[in-house]
């Protein structure tokens, strides 16, 4: 019983000391607040610090929002660029998917190696410096040729010429057919008159008068597609009998018949044919179908 009484006394003393300590803290806090309340300068400073803290909180909030908005804008900008690149790549793929049918999967800007794998009769191989030229004879008598840079292993120009046979008329582009499709039909279907290289506007060969019409690809502007059309000597003899005003090129576009198609990078054609180009008022980049 005695030990229990001493234990209770010790607990009461400890509780009393704790209460005194708490009372002391409360009194000091009260006097601290009362002291600041009696000094306007200190109250003003505290108020200013409170306002400053509030302003900083607002600024921080807006900065966070601005940073978030800037990040969002950057992400959206990157998405727009990626989407644009994707659309361009898909468009260029469509162009080459069309031309693959014509040029056997050989591409301008690509390696010469796919052309070497073609199982056709090679009839011409020549070169000038690093620029090499190879021509093959196809089973349908058409001629397929490639000009390439041997140092860079890069194809610069591809040609397909009609050999005159009925089984080689299908071009593979926009339902054009060698020996049948006229220059006027080409213009109408492509919705453009294209342009001409000044040195290649018109020239003659053993078969008649030849003209070259070039077209920029809308989705690949550095690549030029060239259609070669011919007025045969027999047709020319008939045209010569027409009045002079009906003998101009624009009026006889339906008499020029497709005999060849080429695709090349513009820099190569500029080097080969000269940089002077003649544009028709109705000259727009085209999309192949």
* DSSP type of residue 282: S
pTM over 0.75: no
What torsion, rounded to 10 degrees, do the Cα atoms 120, 126, 131, 133 define? -30
User: Three-state SS for 18?
Assistant: helix
Strands (E), the chain: 121-128, 131-137, 143-149, 154-161, 195-197, 203-205, 208-216, 223-232, 257-265, 277-279
Q: Tokens 């601290």 correspond to what residue? A: 32
Distance (Å, whole) CA 202 – CA 211:
4
User: Three-state SS for 269?
Assistant: helix
User: Three-state SS for 84?
Assistant: helix
| pLDDT (mean) for 154-165 | 95
Distance (Å, whole) CA 245 – CA 274:
30
pLDDT at 185 over 50: yes
**Beta carbons of 198 and 277 less than 8 angstroms apart:** yes
Pairwise pLDDT comparison (138 vs 37), residue with the higher score: 138
Pairwise pLDDT comparison (152 vs 249), residue with the higher score: 152
Distance (Å, whole) CA 204 – CA 232:
10
**Beta carbons of 111 and 125 less than 8 angstroms apart:** no
What pLDDT does 90 receive? 42
**Beta carbons of 215 and 266 less than 8 angstroms apart:** no
Q: Of 247, 260, 102, 104, nearest to 181 (Cα)?
A: 260
**Beta carbons of 277 and 215 less than 8 angstroms apart:** no
What pLDDT does 219 receive? 83
CA 282 to chain CA mean position, Å:
24
Q: Which two tokens stand for residue 49?
A: 């610090």
**Beta carbons of 256 and 183 less than 8 angstroms apart:** yes
**Beta carbons of 183 and 254 less than 8 angstroms apart:** yes
Q: Which two tokens stand for residue 160?
A: 């397909």
Q: Give the model confidence (pLDDT) of 194-218 as tens digits.
A: 999 999 988 999 999 999 999 998 8
Domain boundaries, the chain: 2-61, 92-279
């Amino acid at each position: 019983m005695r030990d229990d009484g001493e234990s209770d006394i010790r607990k009461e003393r400890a509780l009393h000391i704790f209460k005194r300590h708490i009372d002391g803290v409360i009194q000091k806090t009260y006097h601290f607040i009362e002291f600041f309340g009696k000094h306007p300068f200190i109250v003003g400073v505290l108020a200013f610090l409170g306002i400053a803290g509030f302003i900083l909180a607002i600024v921080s909030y807006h900065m966070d929002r601005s940073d978030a908005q800037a990040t969002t804008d950057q992400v959206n900008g990157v998405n727009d660029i990626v989407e644009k690149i994707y659309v361009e790549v898909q468009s260029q793929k469509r162009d080459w998917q069309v031309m693959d049918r014509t040029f056997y999967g050989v591409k301008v800007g690509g390696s010469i190696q796919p052309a070497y794998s073609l199982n056709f009769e090679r009839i011409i191989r020549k070169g000038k410096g690093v620029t090499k030229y190879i021509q093959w004879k196809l089973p349908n008598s058409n001629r397929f040729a490639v000009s390439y840079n041997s140092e860079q292993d890069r194809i610069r120009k591809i040609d397909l010429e009609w050999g005159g046979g009925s089984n080689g008329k299908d071009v593979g582009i926009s339902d054009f057919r060698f020996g049948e499709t006229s220059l006027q039909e080409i213009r109408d279907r492509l919705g453009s008159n294209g342009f001409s290289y000044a040195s290649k506007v018109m020239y003659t060969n053993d078969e008649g008068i030849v003209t070259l019409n070039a077209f920029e690809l809308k989705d690949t502007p550095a690549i030029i597609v060239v259609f070669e059309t011919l007025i045969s000597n027999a047709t020319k003899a008939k045209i010569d009998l027409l009045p002079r005003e009906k003998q101009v090129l624009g009026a006889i576009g339906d008499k020029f018949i497709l005999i060849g198609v080429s695709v090349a990078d513009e820099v190569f054609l500029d080097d080969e044919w000269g940089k002077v180009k003649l544009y028709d008022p109705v000259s727009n980049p085209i999309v192949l179908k």
